[in-house]
Amino acid sequence: MTDPEKVPLQERGAEAILEDLTASLKKFLVQPHAQNPTSFPDSSTTQIAIKLVGNNYGLWSQVVEMYISGKDKLGYINGDLPLPSPTDPGFRKWKTEYSTVRGWLMNSLDPSLISNFIRFPTAKAIWDSIATIFFDGKDTSQVYDLKWRVTRMKQDGGPIEKYYNGLQGIWREIDFRHPNPMVCAADIEKYNLTIQED
């Protein structure tokens, strides 16, 4: 009897091909990474789509936090997963995952910024230092910059959709950094009308 995998595809019946595909799919589905998508072998090499260049900290921090949280590694930047003792059985795994998170952070920085943060001892220290440098706590300078960008924005002959989308993005960023402090629905409406008049 010959091995079915060595028989040319043209000579095998559709039923045999379907059985082979089903068997391959079953094999794939019982592998550990199929049950835990955060453990795909190449997940550590996936790049974060945005680089911190200095003036985009708000957007960058949200994207990076979402990415790291999606990989179930947020504890490395918020301090929930502190360094275990070297004798702890989980030390080696912690060290590997910690290095992966540090790599994600470094890869999400503009090359000109990497040398400022590469020597920090933990991913949390890197995260906190970046926040200290690029976030003033109130975002007043960023809100000023965003409002300045709105006043300077031009359509320049491009599609109105692109222009409007750009304005919407800046307005959303301003709203995020300078949220509406009102509680009552009527006050919120009045406040929003006042803001729109500006």
Secondary element (H or E) of residue 170 = helix 160-177
Overall domain count for the chain: 3
- The tens place of each residue's pLDDT in the chain, 198 residues long, gives 555 555 554 555 556 666 766 666 566 555 544 444 444 444 555 678 889 987 788 888 889 999 999 999 999 999 898 888 999 998 999 999 999 999 999 999 999 999 999 999 889 999 999 988 887 666 677 778 778 888 888 888 888 888 888 888 888 877 777 776 777 888 878 877 877 776
| Residue in the block written with tokens 């590997």 | 96
| 145 and 111 belong to one structural domain | no
| 163 and 127 belong to one structural domain | no
| 117 and 146 belong to one structural domain | no
Global pTM reads 0.57
| 56 and 115 belong to one structural domain | yes
Find the length of the chain: 198
Dist. CA 181–CA 176, nearest whole Å: 12
Give residue 156's domain range: 140-197
What interhelical angle do 91-107 and 57-70 show, nearest 10?
150
| 147 and 79 belong to one structural domain | no
